[in-house]
Amino acid sequence: MDFPIRVYYEDTDAGGVVYHANYLNFFERARTEFLRQYNFSQQELFAKSFAFVVRRVEIDYKSPARLDDLLKVETVILEVKKASVIFKQNLWKDEICLSSATVTVASVDLVKMKPVAIPDDIRQVLQIK
């Protein structure tokens, strides 16, 4: 799935370059929209005391994004485990990959704040994507 991102002033430093931590925000939004396209909203998951939380991020910054750039975040699933999902995400400007990340999210029971198996309905959808 591809998710468009426009770089706004608030995303940048004084030189108009995207601040490094904001790449994580871009990747987070894309993962949320990835789930939404399969009818899994964060609010509905929260109502069931379930959430995906970031457990691990490995990020590679290759080239800077700048103010007003129109970017896209490409999101694919590398692996679905019992209680986690590993995503590969790339941030593109035209044909240039500006950054890539491997993000592991864990499924958590929000009441107990402990790992829990991914619900079957979600697992079935994620395993075929």
- Least-confidence region, from 41-50, 77-86, 111-120: 41-50
Separation in Å, CA 78 to CA 6, 10, 85, 101, 103 = 26, 31, 8, 12, 10
**Contact between 27 and 3 (Cβ < 8 Å):** no
pLDDT higher than 90, residue 92: yes
| Average pLDDT, rounded, for the chain | 95
13 catalytically annotated: yes
Cα separation, 83 vs 109, in Å, equals 11
pTM: 0.92
Residue 127 CB coordination number (10 Å): 12
- Residue in 2, 11, 13, 109 annotated catalytic: 13
